[in-house]
């Protein structure tokens, strides 16, 4: 894809520009770089942000490393993807680059940035941030992207299937590396969670395949998904068991309800199978989603327990990110970022648009990565119901690839962090599954220290 097909509108980060000369402390240089055909225009300006950086209960906007916030615009499709890049706190020149993709579909990676593994968290008042000592940019350069179109600060033409999203993400990664050539040789990782079980492996597979013909090779070094939905056929088959005998929390449904759920599971799986048949009509996938959720999710939610954390009663059934919404929708913060759109943690319209893709499997994208020697990590907080550890472990065991026998024969062993058992892992030939103790759907939020240890080990060693 030629450079003329896209536009970068880049806000160059706090304290120093990523490119060019450093700017004075408490100034922000925002650069809008419009690439049209063979022409590029830079329109820099500076803005005094002393009040935001040093004032308020939250302190700085977010970290003091070099950073870039802006848009990638795909001209032909009128899509504008918002991203926020942070250099590593350690050694940005040599440390890996990691792309983070939040799920939903339709949930912003701003959730992860400001409430999970980013350099800072928004304070409870929503008027500032606090430093996150367990940020994943301690040892990696980090890119947080809002996708598909319409998610977070991104806008433009909607996607309805993963194929379009992965094509766009492949373009984004290559053009990011083309723009910031100093990172081209760095190892590149893709991480994500939840519906990222679709996004992450399919994007990695697209990048891997397109590397063969591209003039710009991406140094893809590893892929990881936390509490993801990757193989719905297998994962939905574990809902009844997880609700009644998760082994991590007491039974959340009665034995009678469990039996009803188990009895209805085969018909759910039959509909998922139809959805995954080649040339299936869209209605098959919508029927599968509706029927499976009615028969296997609603009985659990009827108990009043949270689908994202089985330890807790449901209060709205989602995490509350009103503080993040207040922060990102403030006029001053939006001026700094160069955005002019109301930020929502999750966009229901995007979810609806992508719903026909929900029960399709993307496990098929993983074997090619493993056969090429690219490590793959699947981890799951064991208190999550909706993308639970049982279903995730099951699909990793069922995956057909040359190392399947070795993976199935591998022992489950304690995963230790500083002499404390934080989970149970199984690994063979570059494929790893980790049951993460005492964590729900968002592992970095529930177990920040241990998740950072997992991340650092994987990006530095290729395993945990």
H, E, C per residue of the chain: CCHHHEEEEEEEEECCCCCCCCCCCCEEEEECEEEECCEEEECCEEEECHHHHHCCCCCCCCCCCCEEEEEEEECCCCEEEEEEEECCCCCCCCCCEEEEECCCCCECCHHHHHHCCCCEEECCCCCCEEECCCCHHHCCEEEEECCCCCCCCCEECCCCCHHHHHHHHHHHHHHHHHHCHHHCCCCEEEEEECCHHHHHHHHHHHHHHHCCCCCCCCCEEEEEEECCCCCHHHHHCCHHHHHHHCCCCCCCCCHHHHHHHHHHHHHHHHHHHHHCCCCCCHHHHHHHHHHHHHHHCHHHHCCCECCCCCCCECCCCCCCCHHHHHHHCCHHHHHHHCCCCCCCCECHHHHHHHHHHCCCCCHHHHHHHHHCCCCEEEEEECCCCCCCHHHHHHHHHHCCCCCHHHHHHCCCEEEEECCEEEEEEEEECCEEEEEECCCCCCHHHHCHHHHHHHHHHHHHHCCC
Region 266-292: mean pLDDT is 90
Region 235-256: mean pLDDT is 96
pLDDT above 90 (res 76): no
CATH topology of domain 1-230+321-464: Rossmann fold (3.40.50)
Half-sphere exposure of 50 (CA within 13 A, CB side): 3
Question: What per-residue confidence (pLDDT) applies to 159?
Answer: 58
1 vs 166, more confident: 166
Kindly name the residue from 80, 198, 205, 441 that is annotated as catalytic: 441
Residue 170 annotated as catalytic: no
Kindly name the residue from 159, 353, 384, 446 that is annotated as catalytic: 384
CA distance 34 to 172: 15
pLDDT above 60 (res 55): no
CA distance 437 to 111: 22
What b/e readout covers 9-26, taking b as 16+ CB neighbours within 10 angstroms?
bbbbbbbbbbeeeebeeb
- Which of these ranges, 48-52, 216-220, 369-373, has the smallest mean pLDDT? 48-52
Residue 441 annotated as catalytic: yes
Binned at pLDDT 50, 70 and 90, residue 89 comes out as: very high
Question: What per-residue confidence (pLDDT) applies to 119?
Answer: 95
pLDDT above 80 (res 59): no
Kindly name the residue from 108, 154, 194, 451 that is annotated as catalytic: 194
- Which of these ranges, 66-75, 90-99, 243-252, 301-310, has the smallest mean pLDDT? 66-75
Stated pTM of the model: 0.86
Residue 32 annotated as catalytic: no
Contact 460, 454 (CB under 8 A): no
pLDDT above 90 (res 278): no
């Amino acid at each position: 894809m030629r450079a003329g097909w896209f536009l970068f509108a880049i806000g160059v980060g706090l304290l120093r520009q990523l490119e060019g000369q450093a700017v004075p402390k408490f100034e922000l240089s925002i650069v809008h770089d419009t690439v049209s055909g063979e022409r590029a225009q830079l329109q820099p300006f500076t803005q005094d942000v002393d009040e935001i950086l040093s004032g308020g209960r939250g302190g700085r906007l977010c970290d003091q490393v070099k950073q870039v916030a802006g848009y990638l615009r795909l001209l032909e499709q009128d899509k504008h993807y918002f991203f926020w890049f942070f250099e590593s706190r350690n050694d940005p020149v040599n440390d890996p680059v990691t792309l983070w993709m939040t799920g939903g579909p339709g949930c912003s990676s701003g959730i992860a940035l400001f409430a999970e593994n980013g350099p800072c968290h928004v304070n409870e008042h929503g008027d500032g941030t606090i430093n996150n000592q367990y940020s994943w940019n301690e040892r990696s350069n980090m890119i947080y992207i809002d996708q598909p179109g319409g998610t977070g600060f991104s806008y433009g033409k909607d996607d309805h299937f993963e194929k379009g999203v992965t094509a766009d993400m492949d373009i984004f990664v290559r053009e990011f590396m083309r723009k910031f050539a100093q990172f081209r040789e760095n190892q590149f990782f893709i991480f994500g969670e939840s519906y990222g079980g679709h996004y992450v492996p399919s994007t990695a597979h697209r990048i891997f395949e397109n590397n063969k013909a591209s003039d710009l090779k991406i140094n893809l070094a590893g892929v990881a998904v936390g509490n993801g939905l990757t193989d719905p056929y297998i994962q939905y088959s574990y809902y009844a068991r997880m609700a009644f005998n998760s082994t991590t929390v007491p039974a959340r449904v009665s034995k009678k309800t469990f039996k009803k759920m188990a009895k209805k599971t085969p018909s759910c799986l039959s509909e998922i199978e139809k959805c995954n048949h080649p040339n299936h009509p869209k209605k098959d996938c919508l029927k599968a989603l509706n029927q499976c959720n009615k028969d296997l999710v609603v009985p659990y939610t009827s108990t009043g327990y949270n689908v994202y954390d089985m330890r807790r009663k449901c209060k709205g059934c989602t995490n509350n990110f009103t503080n993040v919404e207040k922060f990102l929708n403030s006029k001053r913060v939006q001026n700094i970022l160069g955005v002019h759109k109301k930020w929502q943690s999750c966009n229901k319209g995007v979810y609806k648009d992508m719903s026909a893709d929900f029960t399709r499997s993307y496990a098929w994208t993983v074997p090619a990565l493993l056969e090429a020697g690219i490590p793959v990590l699947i981890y799951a907080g064991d208190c999550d119901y909706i993308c639970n550890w049982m279903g995730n472990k099951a699909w990793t065991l069922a995956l057909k690839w040359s190392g399947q026998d070795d993976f199935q024969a591998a022992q489950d062993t304690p995963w230790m962090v500083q002499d404390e058992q934080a989970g149970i892992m199984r690994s063979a030939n570059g494929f790893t599954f980790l049951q993460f103790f005492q964590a729900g759907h968002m592992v970095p939020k529930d177990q920040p220290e241990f998740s950072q240890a997992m991340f650092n080990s994987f990006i530095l060693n290729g395993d945990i």
